[in-house]
Structure 1
Amino acid sequence: MASTDPQATTTTSSKSHFIYNPYMPPSLAEQHVMAAGYPFVSTTVLDKNCRLNEHRHHSKNTHLILAGSITIVKSLDDEGRFRTAAKGPGTWVTLPGDVDYIGVPGEEGCTFVEGHTVLSPTTANRFYWRGGTIRVPEGHREVARMQGYNMGKWISPDLEGTTTGNKVHHKRAPGTLRKDGTQTVRFEMPFAVWCNHCKPHAIIGQGVRFNAEKKKVGYYYSTPIWCFRIKHVTCGGLLEIRTDPKNTAYVVTEGGKARDYGEPEDKVREGENGVPILTAAERERRRDDAFAQLEGRVEEKAAVKSNTKRIDELYRARERDWDDPWSVNKRLRTSFRHERKVLKREEDATEALKERLGTAIDLLPETDEDARRAKLVSYGDAEVEVNSADGKALFERKAPQRPTSSSSKPTKESRKDALRRRLITNTRAALNPFGGQT
């Protein structure tokens, strides 16, 4: 058997015929071939560029000597289950011929899964080195499915490759139709939309994604019109967005309105912002009605005149303000200079107050309402009472006084006065028992 690589060397033995890598020592290749211990006809060795020089398959098993690292993702163990095996450079690999190996380079109907490397055969039994990717046919996607993008759908190793996560966990696959013809899809906002349910109205930015209920609501000729109903998580309100095949756009029909970007090429479409949807007959009637055309032209002329007047007013105002840029800049800098000094004094006073109170809380600036409320606060004769309490001893003892009146029972008013004086004295003493100023 001749090799397609002129540098490849062909070695023949009594039991095998193999091609080894010219960049690998021949003794190592012969050692692996002789150590196989089971019948085979041909063996192929990968070259330096991870390509196979030539391979002819004549038996059930295929044997390879690797010149680089490889990961065989789909192979059979003794129990007939799929497993993953990693092999390094110079190691011996046996590929059973009755296994449907995943991936054929260039084959249609395959998908890429990153993070692995696989040796994939074609129907012509030619193997290719696929560095960094796995090509998975449609029928074997679950074999190389990546965990992490399928949270909640874990499959045990003994069931991997025989079923799907949806069947194991009794879940509906994303995007499947329900009995009423709807399905849940991932919808991305094509433009910014104002939500009418929020108070005040909030805007939903372009590119925000929602789980939307997709449903077919009609046709434009043979093109279906799709309706997407989403729920705004902030307020819980429902918004409905429909496709517009006629204008190749999206239209907000319920729960909100599209943001007006003010671009000249933008125009209000039928069914949006209160514009009625006209039937074909009504649109034809308006096209032939001369009065309807005249009304539209009169309204357009009035709008142009009003906009022109407003633009002239704004232009004159700007011209008046910036007739002398140097003087305008001087006034702005002078006013800011004085304001900056006031702000500096207020900041110093605030920092001093925070240091005196021992707090790091940011204090808000003083307002007129705070000043008015502070003036309304009255503390009475508290200062006189504090001074009298400070002048008294902490543990004062007085001799009991005999009543001077003929009646031995004190009156109700005298008891109240005595109790009030006692409470005030005790309170001041409790607040400052050492007689100092607070």
Structure 2
Amino acid sequence: MGERKGTNKYYPPDFNPEKHGSLNRYHNSHPLRERARKLSQGILIIRFEMPYNIWCDGCKNHIGMGVRYNAEKKKVGNYYTTPIYRFRMKCHLCINYIEMQTDPANCDYVIVSGAQRKEERWDMEDNEQVLTTEHEKKQKLETDAMFRLEHGEADRGTLRKALPTLSHIQEAQSAWKDDFALNSLLRRKFREKKKAIQEEEERDQALQAKASLSIPLVPETEDDRRLAALLKFHTLDSYEDKQKLKRTEIISRSWFPAAPGACTHSKASSVLRKLSQQSRRALPTSSPISVGDLGIVRRNQTREAPESPQDATETPKAGELRAP
């Protein structure tokens, strides 16, 4: 596309290629336009991409890796013959400015001001991994025989120290050789766990439906069980049981309203109970019950002489009762 840029441009009548050379020189402008407005100060506006995750010091917000900014690029020094560039950009969330520069020695970027790096670098030495041999050390091993001998002795000493750990790793790896058995064991554990989770979800759904709850239930722990046992919680009657009890009470109630001066059924029963107790106390337990104690009164009636001997035999004896 570079050869097509000047084909569709307007060339004024006073444009002279021998004198002006190009349209940019004719218009006294730079080919980069606004990007080169600070070129006299050694600053070029470029599109900079954030090399790693950072935290802005101004707004304390997280800025992810790959976010792009219009940054001012400026050369600030050299590492041997490699130039060191500094980039200055404004945070898109606040008015804070962030400055970063290249680090050719470590092939990295360094934050100068305005932000803090989110540390996600992997340190092989801290994680007890085998370190790679540096370039200078490699050259010395190739040229210096004594250094190579000393280095070999140090490596053998490191091997003797790491031998118990290596043997333990080998034993652990030998237990994982049967892939089929391991896969079967893993799938069995997954099935059991899935079944237990499904049963727990069904119990939770039943409890939520019974208590009319719409909140998620967390799994119970041993402390929850112990606390519930200390509370001595008793379940209340259900709605159906309460309705049955209420219907039974309504059915057993009297249909007729009580009189204003009359006592209720419970009061009457209590009064009768007291009267029966008093009568029992008044009667002697040793003497037999007579007709007078029962409240039976004899009637005085004039009787005629019996007409026949059969009627005479039916006359009542002394102390016997005769029906009227």
TM over 0.5: no
The higher relative CO (CA closer than 8 Å, separation ≥ 6) is in 2
TM-score bracket, shorter-length normalisation: 0.3 to 0.5
TM-score of the superposed pair, with normalisation by structure 2: 0.39
More strand by share: 1
